[in-house]
Amino acid sequence: MAERQLRCTTAASEHQKTWFAELRRDVFEHRKPYAIVQADMPLELFQVMRVPVVSNQWWGAIVAAKRLAPYYLDRMNEAGYHDGLCRYCSLSLATSLVGDPDQAPWGGLPRPALVAARLTCDCIQRIFSAWGEVFGSEFVALDAPGATDLPPRWWELSRHRWTELFEGHRLDFMVAQFQRLIAALERITGERFDENQLHALMEGVNRQEELFEEVRELICSAPRTPVRMHEQVANVMAAQWVRGSEWAVQHARAFRDEVKARVDEGIAACPGERLRLMWVGAGLWHDTDFYTAFEERFGAVFVWSMYLAFGPDGYIRYGLDDPLKALASRTVSMNEQLHNPPWANEWIVDQALRHHIDAALVLRPLGTRPSATGNLFIERALKKAGIAVLPIYADMVDARGWDPAAMRCTVEGFLEKLSARK
Amino acid sequence: MPDSSAVEQLQERYKDRMGGALGQPMPVAAVTSNTVPWELLRAAGFFPVLLSPPAGPTTHADAYMEDVFDARSRGIFERFLSGEWAFIDTLVIPRTSEQEHKLFLYLREVARQEPERKLPRVLLYNLPHARSAEARIYGLERTRELIEALPPALSGSLEAAIAEGNAARHALRSILDLRSSRLSGAKALPLIGAFYFMDRAEYAALAARAARELAGLPALQGPRLLVKGAALPHPHLHAAIESHGAIVACEDDWWGSRAAGEDIREDIDPLEAIFEKYYLDEPSPRVFPPSAAEAWFLQALSAVDGVVFYIPPEDDVFGWDYPRLRDLLDRRNIPHLLVSADASPATLSAEWHARIDEFVLGIKR
Tell me what pLDDT residue B1 has. Answer: 47
Report if residue A139 sits inside a domain: yes
Residue from B64, B72, B100, B134 to probe the interface with A (highest A Cβ count within 10 Å): B134
Structural domain including A146 reads: 7-193
Shortest alpha-carbon distance between residue A273 and chain B (Å): 33
User: How many Cα atoms sit within 13 Å of A94 on the Cβ side?
Assistant: 33
* Chain B contact set for A340 (CB, 8 A): 102, 105
pLDDT tens-digit map of B325-352: 999 999 999 999 999 999 988 779 999 9
Q: Which of B26, B258, B280, B34 is nearest to B157 (CA)?
A: B26
pLDDT averaged over every residue in chain B = 96
Contact check, Cβ <8 Å, B319/A122: no
Which long-range CB contacts under 8 A does B294-301 form with residues at least 24 apart?
Answer: B294/B321, B294/B325, B296/B252, B296/B258, B297/B226, B297/B228, B297/B252, B297/B325, B300/B226, B300/B250, B300/B252, B300/B257, B301/B226, B301/B329, B301/B332, B301/B334
Cα–Cα distance measured from residue A369 to residue A393, given in angstroms and rounded to the nearest whole number: 13
- Type of residue found at B140: L
A367 has a pLDDT exceeding 80 = no
pLDDT tens-digit map of B39-68: 999 999 999 999 999 999 999 999 999 999
Taking only residues 351 to 410 of chain A, the set having a beta carbon closer than 8 angstroms to any beta carbon of chain B reads 364, 369-370, 372-373, 375-377, 380
Sequential DSSP letters for B197-239:
TS-HHHHHHHHHHHHHHHTTSPPP-S-EEEEEES--SSSHHHH
Report if residue A394 sits inside a domain: no
Tell me what pLDDT residue B163 has. Answer: 98
- Type of residue found at A326: A
Tell me the C-alpha to C-alpha distance, in Å, between residue A258 and each of A100, A158, A255, A355: 40, 28, 5, 20
Average of pLDDT values for B189-209? 98
Report if residue A422 sits inside a domain: no
B3 has a pLDDT exceeding 70 = no
Backbone angles phi, psi at B262, to 5 degrees: -85, 160
**Widest distance between CA atoms in chain A:** 65
pTM: 0.96
3-state secondary structure of B123: strand
Backbone angles phi, psi at A221, to 5 degrees: -95, -20
The phi-psi region of residue A411 (left if phi > 0; otherwise alpha if psi is between -120 and 50; otherwise beta) is alpha
3-state secondary structure of A371: coil
B2 has a pLDDT exceeding 80 = no
* Chain B contact set for A121 (CB, 8 A): 98
Q: Does residue B124 belong to the interface with chain A, where contact is any CB pair within 8 Å?
A: yes
Tell me the C-alpha to C-alpha distance, in Å, between residue A170 and each of A55, A90, A374, B140, B313: 24, 27, 22, 13, 34
Of residues B207 and A106, which shows the higher confidence score? B207
- Type of residue found at B106: Y
Report if residue A414 sits inside a domain: no
**Rounded (10°) CA dihedral A170, A175, A181, A184:** -150
Contact check, Cβ <8 Å, B138/A85: no
Q: List Cβ neighbours of A196 (8 Å cut-off, separation of 6 or more).
A: none
Q: Does residue A79 belong to the interface with chain B, where contact is any CB pair within 8 Å?
A: yes
Count the domains in chain A: 1
Q: Which of B294, B146, B84 is nearest to A169 (CA)?
A: B146
Cα–Cα distance measured from residue A397 to residue A406, given in angstroms and rounded to the nearest whole number: 18
Which residues share a beta bridge with B307?
A: B226, B336
Report if residue A180 sits inside a domain: yes
pLDDT tens-digit map of A381-404: 999 999 999 999 999 999 998 999
B95 has a pLDDT exceeding 60 = yes
Report if residue A215 sits inside a domain: no
Cα–Cα distance measured from residue B254 to residue A145, given in angstroms and rounded to the nearest whole number: 22
pLDDT tens-digit map of A149-180: 999 999 999 999 999 999 999 999 999 999 99
Under 8 Å between Cβ of A331 and A50: no
Which residues share a beta bridge with B47?
A: B28
**Widest distance between CA atoms in chain B:** 63
The total of other beta-carbon atoms located within 10 Å of residue A69's CB is: 26
Q: Does residue B324 belong to the interface with chain A, where contact is any CB pair within 8 Å?
A: yes
Residue from A143, A336, A380, A393 to probe the interface with B (highest B Cβ count within 10 Å): A143
Q: Which of A63, A122, A87 is nearest to A365 (CA)?
A: A87
* Chain A contact set for B130 (CB, 8 A): 119, 125, 141, 143
Report if residue A417 sits inside a domain: no
pLDDT tens-digit map of A312-323: 999 999 999 999
Q: Cα angle vertex A353, ends A350, A355, to 5°?
A: 110
Give the rounded percent of residues in chain A with a pLDDT score beyond 70. 99
Alpha carbon B32 to its chain centroid, in Å, reads: 9
Q: Does residue A19 belong to the interface with chain B, where contact is any CB pair within 8 Å?
A: no
Which residues share a beta bridge with A40?
A: none
Contact pairs from chain A to chain B, CB under 8 Å: 128
Average of pLDDT values for A195-221? 98
* Chain B contact set for A180 (CB, 8 A): 132, 134
> pLDDT grade, residue A345 (50/70/90)?
very high
Buried b / exposed e over B145-168, threshold 16 CB at 10 Å, is: ebbeebeebeeebbebbbbbbbbb
Tell me what pLDDT residue A366 has. Answer: 81
> pLDDT grade, residue B135 (50/70/90)?
very high
Cα–Cα distance measured from residue B45 to residue B25, given in angstroms and rounded to the nearest whole number: 11
> pLDDT grade, residue A101 (50/70/90)?
confident
pLDDT tens-digit map of B156-178: 899 999 999 999 999 999 999 99
Dihedral sign, CA of A226, A229, A231, A234? positive
Residue from B32, B126, B338 to probe the interface with A (highest A Cβ count within 10 Å): B126
Average of pLDDT values for B274-291? 97
Q: Does residue B292 belong to the interface with chain A, where contact is any CB pair within 8 Å?
A: no
A235 has a pLDDT exceeding 60 = yes
Contact check, Cβ <8 Å, B105/A122: no
Cα–Cα distance measured from residue A409 to residue A407, given in angstroms and rounded to the nearest whole number: 5
Alpha carbon B121 to its chain centroid, in Å, reads: 23
> pLDDT grade, residue A100 (50/70/90)?
confident
Contact check, Cβ <8 Å, A122/B134: no
Q: Using CB atoms within 10 A of its CB, is residue A200 exposed (0-12), middle (13-18) or buried (19+)? A: middle
Tell me what pLDDT residue A190 has. Answer: 97
3-state secondary structure of B147: helix
Tell me what pLDDT residue A370 has. Answer: 63
* Chain B contact set for A150 (CB, 8 A): 105, 108
Cα–Cα distance measured from residue A204 to residue A199, given in angstroms and rounded to the nearest whole number: 9
Average of pLDDT values for B226-254? 97
> pLDDT grade, residue A1 (50/70/90)?
low
* Chain A contact set for B81 (CB, 8 A): none
Report if residue A175 sits inside a domain: yes
| β pairing state of A275-280 and A300-304 | parallel
CATH of the domain at A147: 3.40.50.11890
